[in-house]
Copies of this chain bind each other. A is one copy, B any other.
Amino acid sequence: MNRPLTAFALAVALVAPAVARKPVPAKAKPAAAAPKTYFPPEPPPAPPQLHGIQYLYGSAEAAALTRQTWRMLADYVDEQMATGTHRGVVLTPDSTLTNPHFVPCGDKPPAIVLDVDETSILNLGAEYDDLMANRRVFDDEAWDRWEKNGAAYVAPTPGAKEALDRLRDHGVTVIFNSNRGAVNAAGAEAALNAAGLGPAKHGETLFLSGDDDKGSFKDGRRRTIAAKYCVLAMAGDQLVDFSDLFTTEPNGVAARRATVAYSGIADLWGAGWFVMPNPVYGSGLQGGPDDIFPKDKQWRDPGPPKPAAPEPQPAITPKKAK
């Protein structure tokens, strides 16, 4: 099954740029006096367009980062309950990103609200199929078949099951809010249950696109949930998993990055709002070099210094004849 990739890698090698990497031990030569340790061989060169997939679905670093985020979410929620703080994190309709207000908790039971795809579960089967099918665009019909039939081919994100089991033991209701279609609710329930993250029951602990007339906007569903529960934390891989207000902000690399640092919400990241990594798809993947790299950071390597020009030799003048 590697042949397609190999052929493909060869083709790509002609045009694909590598990306700068600082030296890491995987490529370092241990000094003679270094302790005897196994050094992994240099990873085989891979087509750089695999990097996002290699990182999210294959790297130990992403697994540790995801585990870390679930652990911190669970610790945060446990502490909120221990101290009786109970701060809701769903924005009220009159909120702005610079002046957010939260739906009050009152004596509503505690809950957390989680996005599904690439937040609670990894869509391994769909990504494998997409890669091997060498698709160039998102295929809505293939994704619809995935929503219906993919349950056996997903996995929980690392650390998700431990965190959800722990919070459920502590009396927290786990609610999923996804843009999968309500028409495929059975498939979504099956995927979450197969990943060991259930129970997920449509209309009770699972909310989907089509549950209201707001399409992919999630605020309406968030408020439906917040009317019944004290939402202590939310998790997602996209900004719109936290508030639809992000869609009203200017698009573009610099503008989007500035938005998450607004004084009103900068302190919510890691304290009620928890982001999961996703370099594979989504609204964040946009822009070319001039969008991504600020003008004043566009360094160009001058290359090695030029060798100094040789000293000019004085011309030899013939002696005058006496």
The 0/1 profile, CB within 8 Å of B marked 1, for residues 30-66 of chain A is: 1111110111110110111111111111111111110
The 0/1 profile, CB within 8 Å of B marked 1, for residues 190-212 of chain A is: 00000000000000000001000
Complex: how many Å from CA A222 to CA B158?
A: 28
Which residues from chain B contact A264 at a C-beta distance below 8 Å? none
- Contact indicator A30/B216 (Cβ below 8 Å): yes
- Contact indicator B271/A2 (Cβ below 8 Å): no
Does residue A135 face the partner (Cβ distance < 8 Å to B)? yes
Query: Which of A102-110, A119-127, A310-318 participates in binding chain B?
Result: A119-127
- Contact indicator B216/A28 (Cβ below 8 Å): yes
Q: Which 9 A-B pairs have the closest CB atoms?
A: A125-B299, A59-B284, A21-B281, A40-B251, A28-B216, A43-B286, A68-B270, A48-B49, A55-B279
| Given A213-B33, A216-B28, A279-B52, residue A43 in contact with residue B285 (CB < 8 A) | yes
Which residues from chain B contact A12 at a C-beta distance below 8 Å? 12, 15-16, 49
- Contact indicator A18/B136 (Cβ below 8 Å): yes
Partner of A270, one of B35, B39, B71: B71
Does residue A117 face the partner (Cβ distance < 8 Å to B)? yes
Which residues from chain B contact A51 at a C-beta distance below 8 Å? 49, 51-52, 279-280, 285
Give how many A residues have a beta carbon under 8 Å from the other chain's beta carbons: 157
Query: Which of A81-89, A141-149, A167-175, A223-231 participates in binding chain B?
Result: A141-149
Does residue A25 face the partner (Cβ distance < 8 Å to B)? yes
Which residues from chain B contact A65 at a C-beta distance below 8 Å? 69, 269, 275-277
Which residues from chain B contact A271 at a C-beta distance below 8 Å? 71, 75
- Contact indicator B34/A286 (Cβ below 8 Å): no
25 interchain pairs (CB within 8 A)? A5-B289, A15-B15, A18-B135, A18-B136, A18-B138, A22-B118, A23-B143, A24-B179, A25-B215, A25-B217, A28-B216, A28-B217, A30-B214, A31-B215, A37-B247, A46-B286, A47-B49, A50-B285, A54-B284, A62-B277, A62-B279, A124-B294, A125-B299, A128-B293, A145-B302
Which residues from chain B contact A135 at a C-beta distance below 8 Å? 17-18, 20
Complex: how many Å from CA A52 to CA B30?
A: 29
Min distance, Cβ A215 to any Cβ of chain B, angstroms: 4
Complex: how many Å from CA A288 to CA B29?
A: 25
- Contact indicator A19/B59 (Cβ below 8 Å): no
Does residue A290 face the partner (Cβ distance < 8 Å to B)? yes
- Contact indicator A213/B31 (Cβ below 8 Å): yes
